[in-house]
Structure 1
């Protein structure tokens, strides 16, 4: 047999729990991971006029060369520029990270031709080719990631648009480190 106080306490706890849940909006209609969608108003013509970065020798960021662990997986970054080629699934990141500092302290700009890679030296440059349509772009690697779904690289939104897969979210890519 329950007392009125116990019933009131249970009702109050349920109300508090429901109120807490309703105060955290979840956009179930978004097709982007964590609502990390594109920037509105950006056209293909705008992206196609962006100049590709020109590979040049830059001092490698010491902090980005240390081994690290994310989501239980260990990564051993490369500490020097040397030939590297990789094929696999690539993705892109957008508005959720726009303006936030990346692994080497530079703010992410989704409208520049940049990328994140888990082990390539930072900063460095790579040619990324969409194996599904043959398009390629040179990007400056200045961040770490991706860390989910066995992706090999995360491109900026502009780079993904240039390669023709921004609307799909991912594509089969080839990454080749460029040596200056």
Structure 2
């Protein structure tokens, strides 16, 4: 069983967090296969020396690029990313809020790839109507931008990107006919600070 080719990424965030938490309460013995893949963990209670083992079969990650969409107290939008996965984007929110006191709200937003002209219904985010009506973008220079498609009437948005320039973002077109009128806001895509890695 230990040499079966289960996909396992030892850098998986959940696995690393599990090791950190269990290491605070147990002695942890890691058993590896001949290829170096972790296959089994034995957790030993420090005081009683009782133990049990957990088999490590596989890992799962959310590979879709996301950005953390932030709204300031005056309804200015900003994008922070790309960040791999929705959970990692959500985890970045406290770091951003600690650095910028103007941030009033955040939400992870999937980055729709510009090579695909069709935006799926599940890529649209519902936002509070007051934010949808007042949202705007501040001027800014950056090497990467995202295109926020904002339906103010339905209070929904989707994010497409990244693009190298604002002109590239504004030139992008969806193949979906019959959309209601939407605003196309070009927003600087700011790389996340180092503490989110």
TM range (shorter): under 0.3
Per the normalisation by structure 1, the TM-score is 0.24
Per the normalisation by structure 2, the TM-score is 0.23
More strand by percentage? 2
